[in-house]
Structure 1
C-alpha cells in the first residue's frame, strides 16, 4: 500500500507509527498527491482525502484497467463546492459510477498552515480586523488588482442589507450542489465570518449570498443579485431540495491546455422524477 502527503513531517511520523505496529505493507512518501506516484504504479484502488482542482490525468493513467478510485472533486470553480465521486477506469477513460455528499480540504503544492482559509480559488481576503474572504467564478473578468473581488467583498461587509431566509433550516449539501448544477458564471462563495460560509451570486456591481446560518446578505435591498438569489432559492424549494446524489454527473475533459491535464466534474440539474413535492 502506498500513501502520499505533501507534509514531510506527517509522512515521517506515519512511517514510524506503521513500523511500530508491525505493518510492513504500508509505505508513506512525501509527494504532491495530484501527480500520483508513478514509481509504485499501477494501482488497483485509489482513495484521495484532499480535493484536487480537477480529476488529474496522472491518477487515471496510473490505474489498472477496471481500477476503482474514490475522491472528493470540485463541482464548481469556487471553494467548498465538492462531492465524493466513485470512479471506474476502463481503457484509460474514467467514468463516474456514483456521487456522494462529502468533501475535504483542497490539495495544495505545499503544507497548509492556515486551515481557516480555503487552499484554492480565494480571489481576495481580509486579515484584519476580522478574517474574511471571497471567491468569484467570474475572476477572469477581474483585473490584476482584483478590484472586482475586493469591491464585492466590501459590499457584503459594510452597510450590507440582511434578511432571514424564510424557509426552514438550510440543507447545505443540497443547496450547494443545486446551485453548482446551474453552472452560472457569476457563482460566488464567501467567508464573511469565522467558520461561516456563504454562497450566492455577484457581478462587478452587485452581490448577494446566503450564509449557512440562514441569513441572506446583499449589497442593498433592491440588489439585482438578491433577485437572482431569491429565484435560485425558490427553484431549489420547488425541486424538493434534491439530494446531491440525484444530480447526473459528467466528466468533461480539460481541453484548453491551461493548468493541469484531466477532467472537470460537473453536475446537471436533478431529474424531475427525483424532485420532491
Structure 2
C-alpha cells in the first residue's frame, strides 16, 4: 500500500539527519489506514499532520479524485509537511495549523476521519463534520484515568457514533499546544512523587475526588510494594487490563507508575492494586483489592481470556462529544 512512499524522506529531519519525534511506524500506520477502509475519491480529514507521511499515504489511497485535509497544532510541523507535499506534487492535500479537536469545518462533510492523536472523547465537531455512514478511526480515552486508551472504529449514522469496535493502541494525547514533555501523561495525574530510589512515580484516580495527600500516600505505597511476579502473562496484559476496567464493579479505577513500571488497577476504601506491564502485581493496604482482582482474573480465564474484539463499545453523550467505554 505504501511501497511508493519513501518513509525516511518524510520522517527524517533534513538538517540534522535525525528521525522527527512525531513519527509512527509504517506498520502501525498501515494498520490504522486499513481500519478506515479508504477508497478512491473519498474526502478524508486527518487529525495530527506530524511529519506529513500519513497524509501522503492517505493521498495515495484516495487518488487524484479524492482529497485530504490535515490539521496539526504544531506550526513548524505544518510548515514542513506543507512544503514536502508541494514538492511531491500532492495537490489534493491541504495542511492547516489548527486545534484538531475542532476538526475542519471548511471541507466537510468527510467520508473518513482518522486521528493520530488521542482525544479524551470522540469530539462532537468530528461527528458533526462526518458524512452519513462515514467512518472515524482514532485512539480515544475509554476510562477516566490517564493512559486508558483504545483505538475505536465507528460509523456515523444520523449524527451519532454506531457500529463501533475497539483494538489496543494509543498515540500522544491531544492538546491545544505542541507537546514537549513525553515523560508522563499530560492530563488526569492526581499525584507525582519521588520515590526513595529517586524515581518519579505518579497516580491517576478515576473521578479525581481523592484529596492530594491521600493520592500521594497511595502512590508512595504502591511504589514501595514488592511486586508479585508472573501474576498474568505479559503478552495478555492489554487484554486483561481492558477486561478489568470494563467489568470492575467494586473499586475505583487507577492508572499509575511505581517509578519502575506502569499499569492499571483500582483502589478500595482501604487497599489498592496495580497490574504492571510485565505481568506482576503491586498491592498495598488490606487484601481486599487483591482478592477482587483474583476474582476478575478467574472470570476472565473462565470466559476464555477475551480481548478487545470481544468487547462492546458503548458511547455516552457528553457536552463536548461522545465518551466510549468497553463492556464485556
Residue in structure 2 matched with residue 192 of structure 1 by the alignment: 258
Shift of 1:61: 0.6
User: Taking structure 1 as the reference length, what is the TM-score of the superposition?
Assistant: 0.86
Residue in structure 2 matched with residue 152 of structure 1 by the alignment: 218
Shift of 1:75: 1.4
Distance in 2 between the 1:170 and 1:229 partners?
18
1:202 lines up with 2:261 in the alignment: no
Shift in alpha-carbon separation, 1:139–1:248, aligned structure 2, 3 A: same
Distance in 2 between the 1:97 and 1:187 partners?
23
Q: Give 3-state SS (helix, strand or coil) of 1:17's partner.
A: helix
Q: Tell me, yes or no, if the aligned pair for 2:246 and 2:325 is still in contact at 8 Å.
A: yes
Superposed, which structure 2 residues align to 1:1-277 within 5 Å? 1-126=68-193, 129-140=198-209, 142-143=210-211, 146-158=212-224, 160-184=225-249, 186-193=252-259, 196-203=261-268, 205-220=270-285, 222-254=286-318, 260-269=319-328
Q: Tell me, yes or no, if the aligned pair for 1:201 and 1:228 is still in contact at 8 Å.
A: no
Distance in 1 between the 2:243 and 2:92 partners?
42
Q: Tell me, yes or no, if the aligned pair for 2:231 and 2:281 is still in contact at 8 Å.
A: no
Q: Tell me, yes or no, if the aligned pair for 2:70 and 2:96 is still in contact at 8 Å.
A: yes
Distance in 1 between the 2:137 and 2:326 partners?
17
Shift of 1:236: 1.9
Q: Give 3-state SS (helix, strand or coil) of 2:91's partner.
A: coil
User: Taking structure 2 as the reference length, what is the TM-score of the superposition?
Assistant: 0.73
Shift of 1:168: 3.5
Q: Give 3-state SS (helix, strand or coil) of 2:174's partner.
A: coil
Residue in structure 1 matched with residue 38 of structure 2 by the alignment: none
Unaligned runs of 5+ in 2: 1-67
Unaligned runs of 5+ in 1: 255-259, 270-277
Residues 182-203 of structure 1 deviation map (CA, whole Å, 9 limit, x = unaligned): 1545011111235x32111114
Please identify runs of 4+ aligned residues in structure 1 that moved more than 6 A: none
How well do the aligned residues superpose, as a CA RMSD in angstroms? 2.0
Distance in 2 between the 1:126 and 1:17 partners?
43
Q: Give 3-state SS (helix, strand or coil) of 2:82's partner.
A: helix
Distance in 1 between the 2:152 and 2:231 partners?
32
Distance in 2 between the 1:95 and 1:173 partners?
24
Out of 199-208 and 7-16, give the one that drifted further. Answer: 199-208
Q: Tell me, yes or no, if the aligned pair for 1:152 and 1:204 is still in contact at 8 Å.
A: no
Distance in 1 between the 2:132 and 2:207 partners?
38
Q: Give 3-state SS (helix, strand or coil) of 2:239's partner.
A: helix
Shift of 1:170: 4.6
Distance in 1 between the 2:73 and 2:200 partners?
26
Shift of 1:212: 0.8
Residues 229-253 of structure 1 deviation map (CA, whole Å, 9 limit, x = unaligned): 2222222222221110111111111
Q: Tell me, yes or no, if the aligned pair for 1:208 and 1:223 is still in contact at 8 Å.
A: no
Shift in alpha-carbon separation, 1:76–1:267, aligned structure 2, 3 A: same
Q: Give 3-state SS (helix, strand or coil) of 1:164's partner.
A: coil
